[in-house]
Amino acid sequence: MSDTTRRNFLAGAAAIATQAHPILGANERVNLAVVGLGGRGNNHMDFYLKIPQARIMALCDVNQAALERGQAKVNRGAGENPKGYSDMRKLFDDKEVEAVSIATPNHWHALSAIWAMQAGKDVYCEKPASHNIFEGYQMVAAARKYGRMCQIGSQSRTIAHKVKAMKLLEEGVIGKIYMAKGLCFKRRKSIGKKADEPVPPGLDWSLFLGPAPMRPYNELRFRYNWHWFWDTGNGDIGNQGVHEMDIMAWGLGKTTLPKTVMSTGGKLLYDDDQETPNTQMTTFDWGDGVQGMFEVRGLITGGEGSLGKRGNNLNTIGNLFYGSDGWLAVDGGGFQVFKGENDEKVMDEKRTDNDTVPHMQNFLDAVKSRKYQDLHAEIEIGARAAALCHFANVAYRAGRKLTWDDKTRKFVGDVEANKMISRDYRKPYVVPEKV
């Protein structure tokens, strides 16, 4: 191949590549940082690497090995050499960073988001928005005070068939709705028991715990299993379940918190170190004749309604809505509508679009538009869905029916339950009373 032919070939190849992945100008791309580089944090990096408007310029993790793996991933995927931080506070001081994507454990969500917004950053934060009820209110207050975009990772709000199903409910496809049920039947095996041990090299354990009480390092409290301890997680109702909880409220048209909540269950069958329940049934009542129900099952179980195992999948994760004229079932694979006394299936739509990438694209679009109303899962929506999960857990832990006063933001006449609205924060990792 001659030099001229080679130059023409390379120029043509470059043109084709640019059409497939357009190179945007510096002012068209959003300088992003990803905070928390575990399983979901790795997903965040993968997703943003697919979006031309995103430039991953910084990463943060308390685990040096995870940080180095993340930097190598971004370098391979984008040819960038992102800055590395172990302490998010130093990252938030970086003036080049415009937005942060938070994939930390639940107990860090609110404080990291608030700190980021106070530093002038827009925020994409994984679900659940908060670790407790108080934190959700503070996140909303921070977003409004500092004029920041704050999108929660409730990607169902961007999935076309779920959006359509909710619109049909609003239009009365099954008549007047009297009940909705969220299902989180997700198989979770026993985590077993493990003794405390020395902190692994390269891990800042104190920084990992942050707002939570200081405890000896235990492998079960690290990596994924932090979900099952009250210090850092919210059980499966606040993990997988918060997606279905959001859809339950969405389909019911509820933009306020319920007046009463009851929740029962327990950790059945297993003798292990897990603290949160693997079986939980919750009932919400808004005082208007409409009820919401939510059920968690981590053990082997069957499906419900038209929602059941798909192929070899043992999980049943979705929502059922019941009305005067029929019922609707929606899950990750699509939705079905059944009408009349003969239970006739009148609609059956399958999923056609992707998951999180469009949701993150929506966030980046709002970063440019500066209109928080453009966000599909803006912090008010995310905080409300998280609060419903927290309501359930507080009622479960208190062991009784609770009544909520929305004006005082407290449970009526219940000192024990009201203590669980917030937590005792470990200084200096304190979610402020005034943001």
What pLDDT does residue 25 have?
A: 53
Say if residue 127 is in the same domain as residue 187: no
| 417 touches 411 (CB < 8 A) | yes
Q: Do residues 121 and 100 touch, judged by C-beta distance below 8 A?
A: yes
Q: Which residues contact 139 (CB under 8 A, 6 or more apart)?
A: 110, 113, 114, 125, 129, 130, 150, 379, 383
Distance of CA 117 to the CA centre of its chain: 18
Tell me the per-residue pLDDT of 266-315, one tens digit each, with 9 for 90 and over.
Answer: 999 999 999 999 999 999 999 999 999 999 999 999 889 888 755 556 78
Q: Does any domain span residue 171? A: yes
pLDDT in tens, 86-144: 999 999 999 999 999 999 999 999 999 999 999 999 999 999 999 999 999 999 999 99
Over residues 323-337, the mean pLDDT reads 96
- Residue 78 is part of a domain; what is its CATH number? 3.40.50.720
User: Which pair of tokens denotes residue 241?
Assistant: 């379940």
User: Domain range for residue 32?
Assistant: 3-156
* Domains of the chain: total: 2
Same domain, 281 and 314: yes
Residue 425 lies in a domain: no
* Percentage of residues of the chain with pLDDT beyond 70: 93
pLDDT at 6: 39
Asked whether the predicted pLDDT for residue 202 surpasses 70, the reply is yes
Residues 143 and 185 in one domain: no
Helix %, strand %, coil % for the chain, to 5? 35, 20, 40
pLDDT at 24: 52
Average the pLDDT over 213-238 and give the result: 98
> What is the Cα–Cα distance from 162 to 384, expressed in whole angstroms?
18
Q: Report how far residue 229's alpha carbon sits from residue 240's, in angstroms, rounded to the nearest whole number.
A: 15
> Apex CA 328: angle with CA 327 and CA 331, to 5°?
150
Give the pLDDT band of residue 179 (cuts 50, 70, 90).
very high
The pLDDT value given to residue 354: 80
Same domain, 167 and 307: yes
Co-location of 259 and 328 in the same domain: yes
Torsion of CA 302, 306, 307, 312, to 10 degrees: 70
| C-beta of residue 215 within 8 angstroms of C-beta of residue 235 | no
Q: List the structure tokens of 209.
A: 């715990």
21 to each of 15, 33, 354, how far by Cα in Å?
10, 21, 18
The verdict on residue 418 lying in a domain is: no
Look at residue 228 and tell me if it is in a domain: yes
pLDDT at residue 309, rounded to an integer: 59
In the listed set 104, 129, 156, which residue is the last one of a domain according to the structure? 156
Q: Which among 155, 352, 321 has a CA at the least distance from the CA of 251?
A: 321
Contacts of 264 (CB under 8 A, 6+ apart): 280, 281, 396
Counts for the chain of helices (H) and strands (E), in that order = 12, 16
Residues 108 and 180 in one domain: no
Quote the tokens at residue 230. 């009250």
Q: Residues 342-359: pLDDT tens digits?
A: 999 999 999 998 889 999
* DSSP category for residue 402: E
Alpha-carbon distance 103 to 221, whole Å?
A: 17
Mark whether 140 and 232 lie in a shared domain: no
What mean pLDDT comes out for the span 50-58?
97
Q: Are residues 140 and 241 in the same domain?
A: no
> 337: domain CATH number?
3.30.360.10
Q: What are the two backbone dihedrals, phi and then psi, of residue 313, each rounded to the nearest 5 degrees?
A: -75, 120
Q: Which comes out higher in pLDDT, residue 402 or 354?
A: 402
In a domain, 243, yes or no: yes
What pLDDT, on a 0 to 100 scale, did the predictor assign at position 306?
86
Decide if 416 is inside a domain. Answer: no
* 226 and 107 co-located in one domain: no
Beginning with the edge strand found earlier in the chain, give each strand of the sheet holding 99-102 in spatial order: 83-85, 54-60, 30-35, 99-102, 122-125, 150-152
Q: Mean pLDDT over residues 155-179, rounded?
A: 97
Confidence at residue 313, expressed as pLDDT on a 0 to 100 scale: 66
Q: Identify which has the larger pLDDT, 332 or 7.
A: 332
Q: Do residues 256 and 326 share a domain? A: yes
User: Which strands make up the sheet holding 260-266, listed edge to edge?
Assistant: 344-350, 334-339, 326-331, 316-323, 177-185, 291-297, 279-285, 260-266, 402-405, 410-411
What digits encode the pLDDT tens for the residues 57-75?
Answer: 999 999 999 999 999 999 9
pTM of the predicted model, to two decimals?
Answer: 0.92
Res 18: pLDDT: 36
Same domain, 152 and 163: no
Q: What is the separation of C-alpha 316 from the centre of its chain, rounded to a whole number of angstroms? A: 19
Q: Are residues 152 and 166 in the same domain?
A: no
- Residue 428 backbone dihedrals phi, psi, to 5 degrees: -90, 20
User: Domain for residue 413, yes or no?
Assistant: no
Is a pLDDT exceeding 80 seen at residue 16? no
Mean pLDDT of 359-367: 98
The pair of three-digit structure tokens given for residue 89, joined into one six-digit string: 């506070």
**Is residue 92 included in any domain, yes or no?**
yes
Single-letter amino acid, residue 303: G
Mean pLDDT of the chain: 93
Cα–Cα distance, 210 to 213 (Å, whole number) = 8
